Copies of this chain bind each other. A is one copy, B any other.
Amino acid sequence: MKEEQEPIKKVNEPNLIPQLTIDCVVFGFHDGNLKILLLKWKGTKGWSLPGSIVMQDESIDDAANRILKERTGLSDLFLRQFHTFGEVKRYNIAKHSKMLAHLIEKNLWFERAISIGYYALVDYTEVFPRPDEFSDACEWWELEELPTILFDHKKIIQKALQSLRLELNFQPVGYNLLPKKFSMPELQRLYEAILGKKIDPRNFQKKILKTGVVNRLNEVKKGVAHRAPFLYSFDCKKYQQVLEEGGLFFS
């Protein structure tokens, strides 16, 4: 019987970029509700973000897409890099030493790693979350009711949410979560879910229309008996132009 032996892992495993990771904050939206995707580490009660190392022959964008494809089954997602986390001591390594020992041994975990944060927006009814090899659950959590979060991932989640909210000021965040033709109340529900606050409908409509980035169509929403709302679509060309010229506020 031929016995196969694993090659001895060298320090600085040559096919990965040492001390660099990607962490993904996956926001799930459906019917006015915003959730977040978390993984439960095997043998612990702690939850973390979906993440991975970066391979030498892989761009950081490709690494983020790979992680999301593996966890959600989805590709071509609305995915944005939002911040890189590079404190010297991002987390208490001693606290997690037992949990991470086998990873550190395999050079898949470093005492210090710089993590590039990406956020994604998906329709959570389209996702079948799958745990990775280090976790035994992958589930959606309400933002207001998060479980125990490992490492510095709570900070990463907060920064992602802040970035997502601020990006509403200058770009068409989450257009992939709406039907191609949408009503103003549908767009407003998406924005309210992201902002975590109610917006005055008349102000909202006025502001959005003034930017010129949505076009009113000669159609109303079907299946609505009385006062059916008009339908709109995004004007992607105009949006691109606004983006290049400095965003919505000074447009």
Contact = CB atoms under 8 A, between A and B. Distances in A.
Nearest to A192: B250
A244 B159 CA distance: 10
Given A249-B207, A250-B191, A17 B114 contact: yes
Interface string A217-248: 00000000000000000000000000111111
Nearest to A84: B84
Interface of A: 11-12, 17-20, 54, 56-61, 81, 83-84, 86-88, 112, 114, 116, 162, 165-166, 168-171, 191, 194-195, 197, 199, 204, 207, 243-250
Contacts of A57: 88
A194 B248 CA distance: 15
Contact of A12 (B12, B87, B88): B12
19 contacts: A12-B18, A17-B114, A57-B88, A59-B88, A61-B86, A81-B84, A162-B243, A162-B244, A165-B245, A166-B170, A166-B243, A166-B247, A168-B250, A169-B246, A169-B247, A170-B170, A194-B246, A197-B245, A207-B249
B19 A17 contact: yes
B112 A56 contact: yes
A165 B84 contact: no
A168 to B, nearest CB: 6
B59 A20 contact: no
A86 B54 contact: yes
Given A54-B86, A86-B59, A169 B250 contact: yes
A244 B61 CA distance: 27
A87 B59 CA distance: 5
Given A18-B12, A195-B245, A207-B250, A58 B165 contact: no
B60 A195 contact: no
Q: Nearest 7 CB-CB pairs, A to B? A: A60-B86, A169-B247, A165-B246, A169-B249, A169-B169, A84-B84, A195-B246
